[in-house]
């Protein structure tokens, strides 16, 4: 064995190899350095945009620096020892065992460093777990592969924010700025995890349990996130956004969400779309207020068709600007840019405009309606549902014609 090692050592010593190795090392470190300064990084934990995320940032920066300095010292020491005491055929030096003073010092220093990290960490954990200062409460429910939000009409939601009836949306969480929002995170099927990196850390969403997560945004804007617990086929397409609005804009948003249903005018393309929607879509998707010609309300039955028992509520689809697990835009690139990159003074106004006919991203929405599972992998092939008792995971392909899609889109455009 020793002989083999020696041989290995010999060949490693050749200058060319050293050169190659150092070249590779420089390339790798340069690459990771460059990767760390990406400009457009919507999910960058180093750019907090709210007090909770700032708390985490205030903790992780010093820890990162301390760890970095310790790391550099250790690597330098190891490199120096490797070089200084490399095998040059010298005799093996005298072997000793134990040096209490040194050992104690080398134990005490890390203990002190770790204590220095642990105390502020514990403080931060407690601050992030605080719920007594909550100003608004929102239920967040994960399922394969999208997030549902509902705003209970109780407590301060009703008293201070005018949420007099429950509001349900999906994909985009809308919250007022500088408000201590508490999310009650749970799941309808498997474990997911809710994470908006610029606003707070992540929290697992576990079926049968309600986990609490603080959310607060300091200025209006859209903050991106994604599910961070592997949850099946389309985990990568389970994204979400938090939308922070000024208080005045938020009140407008609430009022709009609570507005009663307005049926399309008779004879329009949208009216044809409504009829088709009732026929094709409303067994899964709820549109609040949608009624049969005889006036009876249409109540969807997603629990009969879907494993999770839920499909996105489409009452106000066009007030959000992404869809299907926030994976595609409802806005064309120019219109999107206009909203997403607006300064905080204009952001709210533009977000509240929702999606207009001119701004609708026809391409992605049409592809979705034409064949949803082709766009986002889902277990939605009717011939392969034996293990789920005939229930889908996700939206199936419905075989709509292009004309039918036109009418459906005309109808959906009025849902805002």
Partner 1 sequence: MITTSSKLFYGLGAVSVTAAIVWTIANDGGALGAVALVFIGIASIFLGAIASYVRDGHVLSTDTAQHDSAPAAQRGPGRSWFPLGTALSLGMVVVGLVTSPGIFKVGIALLLAMLGEWLIQNWSDRASADAGYNERVRGWVVHPLEIPIGGALLLGAIVLSFSRIFLALSAEAGPIVFAILGALVLFFGSVLSIRRGVSRGVVGALCGIVLVALSGVGIATALSGERQELTVASAEDHYAVHPCGEEAEEYDGSAGRAVSAKSSVAATVTLKDGVLYAEMDGFSGPLSSITLQRSLNADILFQNEDAGMHRMIVTYGKTVEDLGGGVKKETVLQTCTAMIGQGGAQQIVVRIPKPSFASDVPYTITASGIEGASIEVMVP
Q: What CA–CA distances, in Å, run from 373 to 392, 397, 398?
A: 11, 6, 10
**Window 273 to 292, contacts with ligand HEC (CB under 6 A):** 280-281, 283-285
Kindly write down the DSSP assignment for every residue of 280-322, as one continuous string.
HTTTTS--TT-B-TTSPBP---HHHHBSSS-----TTGGGSSE
Among 50, 217, 273, 302, binds partner 1 (CB under 8 A): 302
Q: Is the dihedral of CA 305, 310, 311, 313 positive or negative?
A: positive
For the CA atoms of the chain, what is the radius of gyration? 28
Nearest approach, Cβ of 201 to Cu ion (angstroms)?
A: 16
Local structure of residue 233 (DSSP, 8 states): T
Nearest approach, Cβ of 209 to ligand HEC (angstroms)?
A: 22
Q: What CA–CA distances, in Å, run from 416 to 58, 81, 147, 335, 342?
A: 40, 68, 19, 17, 21
Residues found in the chain = 416
Nearest approach, Cβ of 155 to partner 1 (angstroms)?
A: 4
Nearest approach, Cβ of 311 to ligand HEC (angstroms)?
A: 4
Q: From the list Cu ion, partner 1, ligand HEC, none, which binds 281 (C-beta under 5 to 8 Å, kind-based)?
A: ligand HEC
190: helix, coil or strand?
coil
Residue 189 token pair: 């099927």
Residue 192 touches Cu ion, criterion: CB under 5 A: yes
Residue 319 touches ligand HEC, criterion: CB under 6 A: no
Q: From the list partner 1, Cu ion, ligand HEC, none, which binds 396 (C-beta under 5 to 8 Å, kind-based)?
A: ligand HEC
Residue 311 touches ligand HEC, criterion: CB under 6 A: yes
Element (H, E) at 108: helix 100-129
Among 167, 199, 213, 227, binds Cu ion (CB under 5 A): 227
Kindly write down the DSSP assignment for every residue of 56-100, as one continuous string.
HHHHHHHHHHHHHHHHHHHHHHHHHHHHHT--SSPPPPPP----H
269-280 and 402-413 helices cross at what angle (nearest 10)? 100
Residue 393 touches partner 1, criterion: CB under 8 A: no
Q: From the list partner 1, Cu ion, ligand HEC, none, which binds 51 (C-beta under 5 to 8 Å, kind-based)?
A: none
Among 56, 63, 117, 153, binds partner 1 (CB under 8 A): 153
**Window 234 to 263, contacts with ligand HEC (CB under 6 A):** none
Among 48, 197, 325, 348, binds ligand HEC (CB under 6 A): 325
Residue 313 touches partner 1, criterion: CB under 8 A: yes
Binding site for Cu ion (CB under 5 A): 192, 227, 231, 238
Binding site for partner 1 (CB under 8 A): 1, 131-132, 134, 137, 139, 141, 148, 150, 152-155, 165-168, 182, 184, 186, 188, 207-212, 286, 288, 297, 299, 301-303, 308-310, 313
């Amino acid at each position: 064995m020793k002989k083999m090692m020696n041989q290995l050592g010999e060949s490693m010593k050749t200058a060319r190899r050293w050169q190659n190795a150092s070249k590779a090392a420089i390339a790798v470190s340069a690459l990771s350095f460059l990767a760390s300064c990406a400009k457009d990084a919507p999910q960058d934990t180093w750019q907090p945009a709210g007090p909770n995320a700032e708390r985490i940032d205030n903790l992780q920066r010093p820890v990162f620096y301390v760890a970095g300095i310790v790391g550099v010292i250790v690597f330098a020491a190891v490199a120096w020892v490797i070089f200084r005491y490399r095998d040059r055929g010298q005799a093996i030096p005298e072997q000793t065992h134990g040096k209490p003073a040194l050992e104690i010092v080398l134990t005490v220093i890390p203990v002190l460093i770790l204590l220095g990290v642990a105390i502020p960490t514990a403080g931060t954990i407690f601050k992030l777990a605080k719920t007594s200062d909550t100003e608004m409460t929102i239920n967040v429910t994960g399922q394969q592969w999208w997030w549902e939000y509902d705003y209970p009409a109780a407590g301060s939601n009703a008293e201070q924010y005018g949420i007099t009836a429950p509001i349900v949306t999906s994909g985009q969480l809308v919250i007022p700025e500088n408000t201590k929002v508490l999310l009650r995170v749970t799941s309808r099927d498997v474990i997911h995890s809710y994470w908006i990196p610029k606003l707070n850390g992540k929290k697992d969403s576990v079926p049968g349990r309600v986990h609490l997560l603080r959310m607060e945004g300091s200025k209006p804007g859209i903050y991106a996130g994604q599910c961070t617990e592997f949850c099946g086929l389309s985990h990568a397409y389970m994204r979400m956004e938090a939308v922070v609005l000024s208080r005045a804009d938020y009140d407008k948003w609430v009022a709009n969400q609570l507005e009663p249903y307005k049926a399309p005018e008779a004879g329009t393309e949208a009216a044809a779309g409504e009829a088709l929607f009732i026929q094709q879509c409303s067994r899964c998707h709820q549109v609040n207020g949608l009624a049969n010609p005889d006036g009876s309300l249409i109540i969807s039955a997603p629990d009969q068709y879907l494993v999770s028992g839920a499909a996105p509520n489409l009452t106000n689809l066009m007030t959000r600007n992404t869809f299907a697990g926030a994976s595609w835009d409802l806005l064309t690139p120019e219109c999107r840019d206009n909203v997403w990159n607006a300064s905080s003074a204009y952001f709210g106004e533009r977000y509240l405009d929702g999606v207009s006919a001119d701004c609708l991203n026809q391409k992605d929405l049409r592809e979705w309606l034409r064949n949803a599972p082709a766009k986002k992998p889902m277990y939605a092939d009717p011939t392969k549902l034996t293990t789920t008792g005939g229930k889908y995971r996700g939206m199936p392909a419905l075989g709509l014609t292009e004309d039918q899609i036109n009418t459906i889109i005309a109808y959906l455009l009025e849902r805002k």
